[in-house]
């Protein structure tokens, strides 16, 4: 798929923007704080309806304005498609696909597929489990409607259960209602566990080959899915932890406590890997993500590289650039030096300055 154009009105530091992308490699360069990441963010919202930075919708509306608009035109399997997002200060956002408003934001999922790569992704191995779960969730929600539904329900049930745990300290007679939440937690949680299992199996198939190549055959990788509980023991574990949950006022059983382990030549590199090893695995993971998305959607996703080029050494950078030749890519950077004489074919260059974007000639 290809993103043809992006229009913004009163989004972040843009009062108005109309940008037309090349179908191959696009570079957005400029000094810090000029609006490069804001452009990638606007594209990302069209995937999940939320910002990759987290935060509230109204934070994305230009200071002092009441609303913001994002319009994206794309081409998917040869067919032109259009996404409109209307952010409002005091109301929930409006979304339209091909000019027709949608009722649930889940209807947008799957229309545009993006792989986002930022310097923080390079720390996914050494960071805490929450980041690794987020990796699974973001991917699965984009690619799998069943997962998205059960994940959303699970979050709600988990919140309700945690609220009830607090309420029970004041109103112990409500104890019976805990079982209702436990049932729903198991219902949605079990499907999440199943889908994560399948996801990790597929990811392993792909990452093994990539990581071997990336390390010149020196390193063998395996990702392990570290479940907090199996489906079969979910009920038993919930019951076992019930007293402790009532004391700690949190739910300690369920896939919201899962993790992934990265084993390199049999060693858990979350704990024992060198920094370089951890970053190489993180890069392999991103490259595997691209392949996985490709194989599932039977199309190419859009790749957004936010400031990562300067973070990678020469070999890894070249490997990345070699692997993304057939994918439309938007790259942000502060200078163009690193691309000159590189192995990258640049097709369009834009300079970003204080919320305005100018296309530059390549000569």
Ligand X SMILES: Nc1ncnc2c1ncn2[C@@H]1O[C@H](COP(=O)(O)OP(=O)(O)OP(=O)(O)O)[C@@H](O)[C@H]1O
Among 54, 63, 104, 173, binds ligand X (CB under 6 A): 63
Question: 43-62: which residues touch ligand X (CB under 6 A)?
Answer: 59-62
* Residue 62 binding: pick among Mg ion, ligand X, none (C-beta 5-8 Å cut-off by kind): ligand X
**Any contact of residue 34 with Mg ion (CB under 5 A)?**
no
Q: Does 356 bind ligand X (CB under 6 A)?
A: no
Q: How far is CA 198 from the centre of its chain?
A: 18
- Burial call 213-231: b when 16+ CB within 10 Å, e when fewer: ebbeeebebebebebbbeb
Give the range of 18-26, 35-43, 71-79, 296-304 binding ligand X by CB under 6 A. Answer: 35-43
For ligand X, the binding residue among 13, 184, 250, 351 (CB under 6 A) is 13
Binding string, 293-322, against ligand X, x = CB under 6 A?
Answer: --------------x---------------
Smallest separation (angstroms) from ligand X to the CB of 304: 12
> 50 or 62: whose CB is closer to ligand X?
62
Select the residue interacting with Mg ion from 25, 26, 34, 37 (CB under 5 A): 37
Query: Which strands form 2-11's sheet, in the order they lie side by side?
Result: 14-20, 2-11, 67-76, 79-88, 94-97, 100-101
107 by Cβ neighbours in 10 Å (0-12 / 13-18 / 19+) ranks as middle
Nearer to Mg ion, 52 or 317 (CB): 52
Taking the complex as a whole, the smallest distance from the CB of residue 328 to ligand X amounts, in Å, to 20
Among 3, 6, 8, 12, binds ligand X (CB under 6 A): 12
Strand order across the 302-306 sheet: 114-117, 302-306, 329-333, 25-29, 348-353, 356-360
Rounded alpha-carbon distances, angstroms, from residue 127 to 124, 185, 227, 265, 313: 5, 27, 18, 21, 21
Name the packing angle between helices 129-143 and 275-297 (round to 10°). Answer: 10
Residue 70 Cβ vs ligand X, minimum distance, rounded to whole Å: 13
Least Cα distance to 260 among 201, 306, 339 occurs for: 201
Residues near ligand X (CB under 6 A), total? 18
Binding site for Mg ion (CB under 5 A): 36-37
Residues of this chain that bind ligand X (CB under 6 A): 12-13, 30, 32-38, 59-63, 307, 334, 352
């Amino acid at each position: 798929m290809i993103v043809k154009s992006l229009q913004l009105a009163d989004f972040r530091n843009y009062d108005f923007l109309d940008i037309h992308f090349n179908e191959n490699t696009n570079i957005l360069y400029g000094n810090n704080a000029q609006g490069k990441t804001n452009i990638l963010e606007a594209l990302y919202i069209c995937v999940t309806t939320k910002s990759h930075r987290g935060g509230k919708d109204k934070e994305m509306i230009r200071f002092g304005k009441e609303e913001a608009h994002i319009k994206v035109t794309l081409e998917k399997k040869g067919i032109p498609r259009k996404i409109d997002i209307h952010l409002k200060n005091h109301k929930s956002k409006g979304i339209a696909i091909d000019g027709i408003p949608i009722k649930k934001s889940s209807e947008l999922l799957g229309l545009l597929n993006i792989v986002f790569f930022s310097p923080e992704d390079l720390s996914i191995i050494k960071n805490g489990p929450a980041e690794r779960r987020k990796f699974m969730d973001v991917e699965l929600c984009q690619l799998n409607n069943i997962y998205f539904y059960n994940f959303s329900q699970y979050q709600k049930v988990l919140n309700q259960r945690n609220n009830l745990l607090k309420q029970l300290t004041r109103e112990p007679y409500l104890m019976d209602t805990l079982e209702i939440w436990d049932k729903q937690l198991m219902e949605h949680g079990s499907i999440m566990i199943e889908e994560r299992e399948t996801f990790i199996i597929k990811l392993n198939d792909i990452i093994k080959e990539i990581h071997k190549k990336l390390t010149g055959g020196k390193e063998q990788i395996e990702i392990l899915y570290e479940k907090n509980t199996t489906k079969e023991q979910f009920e038993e574990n919930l019951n076992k932890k019930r007293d402790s949950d009532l004391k700690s006022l949190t739910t300690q059983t369920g896939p919201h406590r899962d993790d992934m382990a990265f084993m390199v030549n049999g060693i858990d590199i979350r704990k024992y890997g060198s920094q370089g090893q951890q970053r190489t695995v993180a890069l392999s993971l991103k490259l595997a993500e691209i392949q996985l998305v490709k194989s599932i959607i039977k199309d190419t996703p859009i790749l957004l590289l936010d400031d990562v080029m300067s973070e990678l050494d020469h070999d890894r950078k070249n490997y990345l650039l070699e692997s993304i030749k057939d994918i439309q890519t938007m790259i942000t950077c502060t200078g163009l030096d690193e691309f000159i004489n590189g192995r990258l074919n640049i097709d369009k260059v834009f300079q970003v300055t204080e919320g305005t974007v100018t296309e530059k000639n390549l000569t």
